[in-house]
Structure 1
Amino acid sequence: MANELQPLSLLFQNRLFRIPDYQRGYAWQQPQLVDFWDDLTNLQEGRYHYTGLLSLKVLKNTETKSWGGDLWMVDKGFKPCHIVDGQQRLTTFIILMNEIVGFTRALDENSGKSDDEIVLGYDTLKDIVAKYICQHRPPNNQITTYLFGYEVDNPSADYLRYRIFNEPYSGTVNETYYTKNLKFAKSFFHENLSALYDTEGAEGLNNLFLKLTLRLMFNIHEIADDYDVFVAFETMNNRGKKLTNLELLKNRLIYLTTLYSDEKFDELDKSNLRGQINDTWKEVYYQLGRNEKTPLSDDEFLRAHWICYFAYSRRKGDDYIHFLLNKFSAKNIFEKKTIVIGENTETSPVDVDYDTEDTADDATEPEILEVSKLEPNEISAYVNSLKDTAKYWYDTFFPMQSENLTEKEKLWVDRLNRIGIGYFRPLVMVIISRRDLTDGQRIDAFKAMERFIFICFRLGYFNATFRSSEYYRAARSIYLKQMDISDLVNDITEITNTNIEYAIPNFVTKIEKHFDNMGGFYYWNSIKYFLYEYELHLAQKNNLDKVSWEMFTKTEKDKVSIEHILPQTPTKYYWCNQFRQFDAEEIELLSCALGNLLPLSQSINSALQNDSFEDKKTSKSSGRRGYQNGSHSEIEVSKETDWSADRIYQRSKILLEFMESRWQFSYTGEQMDKLIYVTFAIDGREIPAPITESADAVAAISSTKNSPVDTNQELGNQQLMFWSKFVEYCKQEGRAEDIASRKPFAQNWYDIPVVDADFHLSFTLTRGKYLSLLIYVYNGEAFSRLESKKDIIETAFGDKLDWYSSKQNSVAKRIIYKRECEIFNPVKQQELFSWMIDKYDELCNALVIAGELDEDTSHESKFGALNKYLRELKQDKITMSFADIEKIIGTELCKSAYNYSAYWQPSPTHILPNTILDAGYKIESVNLLAKNITVEKQ
């Protein structure tokens, strides 16, 4: 066994390297490549870099039978080796080496020269190729043997040979997720070599080659024959870029094929089963990587198949891999029975640990028989099922590319993807895989699922796991043909119908809240899906069946956006005159009503902006498209002479009636009015005389609609709207109990209390341009304590904080994290809100790690007792001293609340008063200095 440091130049002396079939493909991506390149180029003169452990298994003659034409190199004295650990690094070295050779050969200065005339480092290119890349079998040179490659014929082996090493006459080479990584690495090194040559010339290439071959050191470890190579691989690959569960399972299954008794399962059987496993993984990775832009997750597929193939449990998210690795484990290959020699009867089977010594009486000399528990045909059936379902899994993501679906089926699976297929994907995969079903049966199932998702999740906002276990189990029942597809459809339909009475009120309430925040249907997270379905309805009405998202886009990069026909900021004369009978708030509500929304590409939306309705309808000679030449929805709107409040009302009603018809339910009259919301559009109010078209007149109209306010008041309104929308967003994200526990105000900050602490967290807005998350520390002592943990907090947070921007003589100190953004741009705000929640969570986590926050601390839970107490009070008016409050929530928390409030004048109503307000009381007086709070029941 060798165990020593060697450079690449020694490592490649008389060795042939092959990546065995149980190994995954090339998994390194840009982050790992960047680190490798930086390590190499930054290596100083005279220094060596430890590259890591390389574990090799030297093969016996019987283990190289499949090497075929490469065995002449073994006869020549080369040691055949399997790479057990380190193949990612070694593959990277070889790709870079090959790129260096190719780049050097292509230089202008080497034009017309042969490889034995070009020198790199102190070797010719001919010698470098022979030492590190490949050799040709003399005397005819018809056989090319690569010193590094894959043992079995798979897409990675072909890709390495024909696309990386550029061997000619390749024919068709299939691509997978792993070959895309090989392709990227080749391109990455070529670009970096070009940049290196531009700055350092040929000398830079020479230095790089010498560093690569002489100064990057491997720790070489040759595994002994009796060492369990599969267990070694599984253990070693828990370091670095970890194996996915799919990669881990492949290694485990191949390992198991070696454990069966030769008497019942000979070498030919083992080889055949191993071939099935390799073929399965080749197919699975082909399907997962078929779409180069969107490769599919290994683990998601493995879990989905587990749901269909084995009994589902929902104890935790990674149950499936624990189940599979326990199911396909060495201990399940054999069950040991103890039989006493000479006796005619057997004892009952006894489970024996492999490492447990036999404690039977020596005189009996019991014989231990090994009886198979996990049969080879179980492994075969499992991997063949994986192989078969992989293509159907791909179909669930990319139905339009499917060869297994009819055109109508493709449309319905595409719908499921657009609406959010969620936990139904395994069930959809199984239904597609059931080729004994008719397309009509499959479509009925897809329809039922889509309606369930729309009503329960998109309208009802039910929990995302609602009924998930039931339909995971149904996936297995359909797969095993234990459930009839019609029973499944009836079950989904019945559950949907039963829950309509709960879903619709939830939807009405949610939309009303969106209107309260001046977002209306524009804030509904399923508006694009709904408007697309209406577009499809119009297309079918006009006998045009095929409609796709792409019809709303000019270029591939465009995204479908929602156009406000009446603009959100209607400053042009047309809009001011057309809606002159409404005030600013009413116009804002009309702009976000359902009937005023239209799907357009982002570029067209930006181009239309504030144009008049006539201008929006008409295409321009400049090439900008108008409604008249757009989608069916646009064409329908373009038939209107003018765009008015009445048309918004009527179109809202039409769209809601379409929703009822499309998803088979009914709104009550009251629910319909609440969803239309802008019923004031048809209240019969008197319409003022038309305004004069002039800049002064438009300005005058604007000023009458928006009551005169000074700059500060206008800014305050913007701030209040921003915080209100943020609080609403937090509530939608399940953060009502912590971040959104405060009422928003017209001010530039929004505070988040931290109980039992001498600081709190806050968001601030500065000049409409800077958004900050900060720790507001109450005193110098607290700041010094936090400052002593600066490195811990910043490391855990993942970025630097500004610790020293507070005024020098200020008692309180601020620790700030800031970003520049368009704070009051409505289009940008949802992204900002998501960023705010993420950064808040990261900062809280950093403070937990630093020991400054209790992970379980919650403002709501701490004050819950007080809240409950106040709700139960019978009197209309009470006075509570801090002593009274202390009895309920504790002394320390009481002090924290008092200290916190004292720092914020003239609004000392934080924490306790807000909690009292939430409990249904209004504040009559607050005297914190006297430690007395008086409240009156509302």
Structure 2
Amino acid sequence: MNELQSLQSIFKDKIFKIPDYQRGYAWTSSKHLKDFWEDVVNLPNDRFHYTGMLSLKRVENNVWSNWNDERWLIEERSFKPFYIVDGQQRLTTFIIFIQSISELLKQLPTNKDKSDDEIYLGSFSLKTIKEDYLLVRKPPQFIIQTYKFGYETDNPSFKFLKHRIFNEPDGGSIQETFYTLNLENAKAFFIENLTNYFEKYGIEEIQMLFKKLTQNLMFNVYEISDDFDVFVAFETMNNRGKKLSNLELLKNRLIYLTTLYNEDELKSDERFSLREKINDSWKEVYHQLGRNKRNPLNDDDFLVAHWIMYFQYTREKGDDYIRFLLEQKFTPQNVYAKTEVKLDAVKQFREVREYEENDIDDEDEDIEISVPTVVLKSKLTPKEIEEYVNSLKSAAVHWYDIHNPKNNKNLTTDESMWIDRLNRIGIIYFRPLITASFLSKKIDAHERVKLFEAIERFIFITFRLSRAFSTYRNSEFYKAARQLRQGELNVSQIISRLNERMDYCFTHNETTGNTFFDYGFFQKHLDRKFKSGGGFYSWNGLRYFLYEYEMDKVRQRGNQKIDWSLFVRGEKDKVSIEHIYPQTPDNKYWKENFKNFKKQQKFLQGTLGNLLPLSQSINSSLQNDSFPNKKAAKFNEKSEKVRLGYSDGSHSEIEVAQYENWNPENIYERGFFLLNFMERRWNLKFEDNTAKADLLFLKFMEE
């Protein structure tokens, strides 16, 4: 362990690389950055602050000798190259901070048109700051730019760091990942805060921030010397800070395992190739997980789903998948443990000689000699690792697609539509099965759509209507994902199984052969909702159902008027589904039209036919307007429109606006109309109108 060192001392004559087994920049929350910023700002000018341990591993000659841009500094100026084993999150943050300071200096009006060696922060020129911490250009041509801190070659984070963080021009297309998003956010944070700090305190305080950053924040620097230790150290050391995700731990483990095979089983070029495939797979995985910047995907969720598709699913505990991967499957013990493998017998023959016809002696006949060959192979073979990481890489693409189906060129129009529906209804535990359907070349888009349609119907009927527990049959369909990927089940068999598992939702008349939807489970659920004052309005499938009805109208007439993301977003004191006959019917209009149904008021208010999806959410206080006023747009005293009328609203609103008045009979009629749509859309049938009235809680209307 060395004495405490400042950043200024640490960076002197050194090059730092983040090795391939490391994760990328993982500070995702503004809290990490805010805490770091406040530590620097609030540190007294004459005090030192312990920042933590920096664990390094010296890069071997046979590795850095293949580095093109860095080799000249090592050979000509005796720079020492190091891998960062622990501390990269803080070190990356330091570098982005310094880069942000340099950009602030460059943009000051007083520095306009000045070169880097003419711009100063205190006694340091901008050129010196960059060369000490960021990059050095090789003279005399200055073509080679050597970054003192970066990632190993072919890491998308390094290209992003150079072109988007350090502003190196001509970056071309840059692959973005979950980690590059974190780099981008960190730079934006420091640029904004430094600008505000400069405007408030001036350049002298920026100079003081730089001094504290580079001279007052102190590290313990520890150099790791053993190859074996470096992988184990990475797992243990990094878990002290922002805990490694399971996907990050797995990558480190797989690369570590490649170093354990002996030369007979994994030659040097094969070892290098396998390590490259691991890195390539993780690069693709993180690209796909971070493609949607507004909604990056969780890496552990992906790893769980892939485990379900690839290995045998079990129902033990929530972390059984990672315990299996790290403690049972991908372990050093499985590399060291050897099993005898009998190769095919090696057939050897005596050399064929020419001979005259009939000149054959029994002794001289060619004799086939079988030599059985037995070799020792690791229980976990390199081929298994290769197949596993290739599968991860392939699955990641489809994982992104099924989370982002809209306007996705990888999907057909029907695939996109049905996956979007599944995301909206709540895909529950079917995402691995849906992903697996893309991994088999034997399944085409038409078959997939049939599967998606069957899954959506299963979810709606089983979970939204018949109120099954969310874990109902999850083990069976998790296992089906693996069986589908391996070709042990086909799409038709899975659809049949889905339909069979819905049998309890239907009643079968053996005499007539008719099958009807058994709405009893749904009705009991609604009865509890009505007792608490909600009715259908509190049903968790209502928004999906009404949106599907609205989209059915859109497909017939065009002009979509309801945005799903806005439709489901909760806003205080606003509603996106309106009780046409309001819950507080104080208006004279409502009292007159419903005067004969005071006892049944809550059923008429909360039943399906009285609920209407709005194209724009409105203040709940506007719901008490009379029906004629609801049909027309409403304006305030300043002639500003405060709500759309039904006549200018969604297709559902326009449909309701055709009624001259709103009364119990119209609520009853519209409820039947919506249940008829339910029958068509999800291929189910109610026994008769009495059953429909019973489910709507409007049997008193028949009387």
Q: CA deviation at 1:218?
A: 0.5
1:676 equivalent to 2:675? Answer no
2:538 is matched with: 523
The 1:536–1:497 alpha-carbon spacing in structure 2 relative to 1, beyond 3 Å, is: farther
What are the equivalent positions in structure 2 for 1:55-94 lying under 5 Å apart?
55-75=55-75, 76-94=77-95
Q: Retained in 1: the 8 A contact 2:543–2:568?
A: no
Deviates more, 1:281-290 or 1:40-49: 40-49
1:62 and 1:549 mapped to 2: Cα distance? Answer: 62
Q: Retained in 2: the 8 A contact 1:164–1:186?
A: yes
Q: Retained in 1: the 8 A contact 2:537–2:606?
A: yes
2:474 is matched with: 468
2:700 and 2:505 mapped to 1: Cα distance? Answer: 32
1:215 and 1:240 mapped to 2: Cα distance? Answer: 21
Q: Retained in 1: the 8 A contact 2:575–2:618?
A: no
Post-superposition Cα deviations, 1:205-251, rounded to whole Å, max 9, x if no partner, equal 11111100111000000111455211111121121101100011011
Q: CA deviation at 1:609?
A: 2.8
1:649 is matched with: 668
Unaligned runs of 5+ in 1: 339-368, 684-938
The 1:397–1:607 alpha-carbon spacing in structure 2 relative to 1, beyond 3 Å, is: farther
2:221 and 2:100 mapped to 1: Cα distance? Answer: 25
Q: Retained in 2: the 8 A contact 1:230–1:252?
A: yes
1:218 and 1:557 mapped to 2: Cα distance? Answer: 47
1:243 and 1:551 mapped to 2: Cα distance? Answer: 35
What are the equivalent positions in structure 2 for 1:10-29 lying under 5 Å apart?
10-29=9-28
Post-superposition Cα deviations, 1:629-667, rounded to whole Å, max 9, x if no partner, equal 332212211111111111001111221232233223334
1:550 equivalent to 2:563? Answer yes
1:591 equivalent to 2:610? Answer no
Letter in 2 for 1:512: D
1:226 and 1:287 mapped to 2: Cα distance? Answer: 31
2:487 and 2:257 mapped to 1: Cα distance? Answer: 30
Q: CA deviation at 1:200?
A: 1.6
Task: Give the SS at the match of 2:656.
Answer: helix
What are the equivalent positions in structure 2 for 1:329-340 lying under 5 Å apart?
329-335=331-337
1:477 and 1:662 mapped to 2: Cα distance? Answer: 30
1:780 is matched with: none
Of residues 664, 678, 687, the one that matches 2:683 is 664
Task: Give the SS at the match of 2:577.
Answer: strand
Of residues 583, 604, 619, the one that matches 1:568 is 583
Post-superposition Cα deviations, 1:653-699, rounded to whole Å, max 9, x if no partner, equal 2212322332233345554333221344565xxxxxxxxxxxxxxxx
Post-superposition Cα deviations, 1:880-899, rounded to whole Å, max 9, x if no partner, equal xxxxxxxxxxxxxxxxxxxx
Task: Give the SS at the match of 1:333.
Answer: helix
1:782 is matched with: none
2:227 and 2:445 mapped to 1: Cα distance? Answer: 55
Q: CA deviation at 1:608?
A: 4.9
Post-superposition Cα deviations, 1:310-343, rounded to whole Å, max 9, x if no partner, equal 11111111111111112111111122589xxxxx
Letter in 1 for 2:431: R
1:157 and 1:512 mapped to 2: Cα distance? Answer: 59
2:526 is matched with: 511
Letter in 2 for 1:574: Y
Post-superposition Cα deviations, 1:871-925, rounded to whole Å, max 9, x if no partner, equal xxxxxxxxxxxxxxxxxxxxxxxxxxxxxxxxxxxxxxxxxxxxxxxxxxxxxxx
Post-superposition Cα deviations, 1:379-415, rounded to whole Å, max 9, x if no partner, equal 1110000000111111221122433321112111111
Of residues 373, 382, 391, the one that matches 2:388 is 382
Q: Retained in 2: the 8 A contact 1:455–1:500?
A: no
Post-superposition Cα deviations, 1:173-209, rounded to whole Å, max 9, x if no partner, equal 2211111110110011111112221222112111111
Unaligned runs of 5+ in 2: 341-374, 508-516
1:38 equivalent to 2:57? Answer no
What are the equivalent positions in structure 2 for 1:234-313 lying under 5 Å apart?
234-313=235-314
1:535 equivalent to 2:550? Answer yes
Task: Give the SS at the match of 1:399.
Answer: coil
1:119 and 1:129 mapped to 2: Cα distance? Answer: 12
Q: CA deviation at 1:520?
A: 1.0
Q: Percent identity?
A: 50
1:440 equivalent to 2:446? Answer yes
Letter in 1 for 2:110: E
1:556 and 1:468 mapped to 2: Cα distance? Answer: 28
Q: Retained in 2: the 8 A contact 1:55–1:83?
A: yes
Post-superposition Cα deviations, 1:115-156, rounded to whole Å, max 9, x if no partner, equal 223222431111111111111000110111110011122221
2:532 and 2:206 mapped to 1: Cα distance? Answer: 62
Task: Give the SS at the match of 1:609.
Answer: helix
1:418 is matched with: 424
Task: Give the SS at the match of 2:83.
Answer: strand
1:915 is matched with: none
Q: CA deviation at 1:568?
A: 1.9
Task: Give the SS at the match of 2:277.
Answer: helix
Q: CA deviation at 1:557?
A: 9.9
The 1:503–1:313 alpha-carbon spacing in structure 2 relative to 1, beyond 3 Å, is: farther
2:113 and 2:565 mapped to 1: Cα distance? Answer: 54
The 1:394–1:500 alpha-carbon spacing in structure 2 relative to 1, beyond 3 Å, is: farther
What are the equivalent positions in structure 2 for 1:654-733 lying under 5 Å apart?
654-668=673-687, 671-681=691-701, 683=703
Q: Retained in 1: the 8 A contact 2:616–2:644?
A: no
Q: CA deviation at 1:461?
A: 1.6
Q: Retained in 2: the 8 A contact 1:552–1:600?
A: no
1:217 is matched with: 218
2:561 and 2:315 mapped to 1: Cα distance? Answer: 36
The 1:543–1:487 alpha-carbon spacing in structure 2 relative to 1, beyond 3 Å, is: farther
Task: Give the SS at the match of 2:406.
Answer: helix
- Higher RCO, 1 vs 2 (CA within 8 Å, ≥6 residues apart): 2
Q: Retained in 2: the 8 A contact 1:245–1:321?
A: yes
Post-superposition Cα deviations, 1:700-731, rounded to whole Å, max 9, x if no partner, equal xxxxxxxxxxxxxxxxxxxxxxxxxxxxxxxx
Query: Taking structure 2 as the reference length, what is the TM-score of the superposition?
Result: 0.88
Q: Retained in 2: the 8 A contact 1:535–1:633?
A: yes
2:646 and 2:227 mapped to 1: Cα distance? Answer: 75
Post-superposition Cα deviations, 1:253-296, rounded to whole Å, max 9, x if no partner, equal 11111112223322211111111111111111111111111111
Q: Retained in 1: the 8 A contact 2:580–2:623?
A: no
Deviates more, 1:270-279 or 1:81-90: 270-279
Query: Taking structure 1 as the reference length, what is the TM-score of the superposition?
Result: 0.66
1:193 is matched with: 194
2:4 is matched with: 5
1:409 and 1:138 mapped to 2: Cα distance? Answer: 56
1:631 is matched with: 650
Q: Retained in 2: the 8 A contact 1:459–1:503?
A: no
Task: Give the SS at the match of 1:80.
Answer: strand
Letter in 2 for 1:571: D
Q: CA deviation at 1:579?
A: 2.3
Letter in 2 for 1:50: Y
Task: Give the SS at the match of 2:617.
Answer: helix
What are the equivalent positions in structure 2 for 1:713-862 lying under 5 Å apart?
none
Q: Retained in 2: the 8 A contact 1:22–1:251?
A: yes
1:618 equivalent to 2:632? Answer yes
Post-superposition Cα deviations, 1:805-827, rounded to whole Å, max 9, x if no partner, equal xxxxxxxxxxxxxxxxxxxxxxx
1:47 is matched with: 47
Q: Retained in 2: the 8 A contact 1:19–1:83?
A: yes
Q: Retained in 2: the 8 A contact 1:399–1:413?
A: yes
How many residue pairs match? The answer is: 649
CA RMSD of aligned residues (A): 2.4
Q: Retained in 2: the 8 A contact 1:395–1:401?
A: no
Q: Retained in 1: the 8 A contact 2:575–2:619?
A: no
1:477 and 1:652 mapped to 2: Cα distance? Answer: 42
Task: Give the SS at the match of 1:313.
Answer: coil
Post-superposition Cα deviations, 1:510-540, rounded to whole Å, max 9, x if no partner, equal 1112112221111111100111122233344
Deviates more, 1:551-560 or 1:223-232: 551-560
1:138 is matched with: 139
Q: Retained in 1: the 8 A contact 2:530–2:602?
A: no
2:595 is matched with: 580
